[in-house]
Structure 1
């Protein structure tokens, strides 16, 4: 049984100004096995984040089902950690307290919180910055804190919504390498939203290519590339050309087929 099962999912949003609902997702089917790294790739507005929010339990399908670990998702849970586009850290708390905030909410004593946080601070490469505040860190470092916070909950699934979108290219490449290392070390299952083909190919074991709204899965591609991935290799660029073809407007595909 797959760890994540998305079956015949549709999502409609009411739009009073248009007088009819907007179809965000239409008949989406995806299966994610344990320890896979799935990248959801598609144009802006295709429903990638909506789908991620359904796995997280923040949103629900209008029809169809989303299951994690064989159970229908009805609300957020500790089996799913979420890393957002912005790290959303508490600026008045140092790094270790941001990482351990979940434990504080459960009433864990300070010594236990500090000890457990340290493991994940080390894992994301922030040893020595435990007592720094978010304002004293770079954007990439703050995102590492957000990843450590998600990992501390020991989730089966880590959900990431374009977490590196605001970073410069060099920092982004560094974070890609770090995330792959963390994924391997933690043996987590990751679902990662992106609109960058190169980012999806640099990270994913699989890439789900989505159409423009209403979002559908055009193709689920297993990515057979060695790591670290060479973005200049012929095989990498073969994948890139194929995905670019999939992302072309469907009207162009219909014209091609008719020609």
Structure 2
């Protein structure tokens, strides 16, 4: 059964300079099942983040319906946790208070907040850093704090908008392994925006490959690769070649196809 349903969604933005509408998404339909890890993959400007924002409830379709758990999305909610490209932590709060911020807003006692935050601090591998401030942590560690904060809300869905884009390659690879472990342990459903083919193949159970603007779904790929995933394996590179062909502008032939044309 689908947890997230996107039905015939289009999104147009008014462009006052041109006096017309810019079409960001065009007739997108997609379903995401429980405990899936879906990667939204496509070129810059194809509407990946727009689609994620509509699932989050930060934005709304011009046409069509976005639903989570069978209910149309009309606003942000605790059933959806969001991890942004930048961690958006509060620099004046230590790690545990950043993680527990949602509980602070609900007025829970300090001892209860700290106990519940500790579980997720442990889950993301930050035990020992509970009292550190964001300025004392690396970029990857700050992203872990953001993930722990999203997990503490116990959401059905975790939405991630290129959260590792600013990290170096080694840290990014380490975070991929950690995120897969966290996803398995938490049994969450993740929707992850990326423009990296290898990143999508390292993480996803499914990859929705999107076209250039206006964004459409070119293909939904079921990634049948064992974990941990080996980026040098023949099957991994078969997937990679197939996705590269999908990402070519429509109507542009591959070199092999042109040679036989």
Query: TM-score, normalization: structure 1?
Result: 0.98
Q: Is structure 2 residue 178 aligned with structure 1 residue 178?
A: yes
Number of the residue aligned with 1:211? 211
Q: CA deviation at 1:219?
A: 0.1
Q: Is structure 2 residue 25 aligned with structure 1 residue 25?
A: yes
Number of the residue aligned with 2:84? 84
Number of the residue aligned with 1:42? 42
Map residues 131-170 of structure 1 onto 2, 5 A cutoff.
131-170=131-170
For 1:76 and 1:253, the matched residues in 2 are separated by 42
SS state at 2:246 partner: helix
For 1:222 and 1:61, the matched residues in 2 are separated by 26
Map residues 120-139 of structure 1 onto 2, 5 A cutoff.
120-139=120-139
Number of the residue aligned with 1:238? 238
* 173-182 or 18-27: bigger deviation: 18-27
Q: CA deviation at 1:251?
A: 2.7
Q: CA deviation at 1:253?
A: 5.0
Number of the residue aligned with 1:69? 69
For 1:227 and 1:4, the matched residues in 2 are separated by 25
For 1:93 and 1:58, the matched residues in 2 are separated by 25
For 1:75 and 1:191, the matched residues in 2 are separated by 17
For 1:127 and 1:213, the matched residues in 2 are separated by 43
Q: Deviation per CA, 1:149-189: give whole Å up to 9, x if none.
A: 00000000000000000000000000000000000000000
Q: Deviation per CA, 1:204-229: give whole Å up to 9, x if none.
A: 00000000000000000000000000
For 2:193 and 2:253, the matched residues in 1 are separated by 25
Number of the residue aligned with 2:98? 98
For 2:253 and 2:36, the matched residues in 1 are separated by 30
For 2:184 and 2:29, the matched residues in 1 are separated by 26
Number of the residue aligned with 1:221? 221
4+ runs deviating over 2 angstroms: none
Q: Is structure 2 residue 203 aligned with structure 1 residue 191?
A: no
Ranges in structure 1 where 5+ consecutive residues have no aligned partner: none
SS state at 2:167 partner: coil
For 1:138 and 1:252, the matched residues in 2 are separated by 42
SS state at 1:250 partner: coil
Q: CA deviation at 1:19?
A: 1.9
Ranges in structure 2 where 5+ consecutive residues have no aligned partner: none
For 1:251 and 1:92, the matched residues in 2 are separated by 52
Q: CA deviation at 1:56?
A: 0.2
Please give the root-mean-square deviation of Cα atoms over the aligned residues, in Å.
Answer: 1.5
For 2:38 and 2:106, the matched residues in 1 are separated by 31
For 1:198 and 1:18, the matched residues in 2 are separated by 37
The 1:67/1:135 distance shift into structure 2, 3 A limit, reads: same
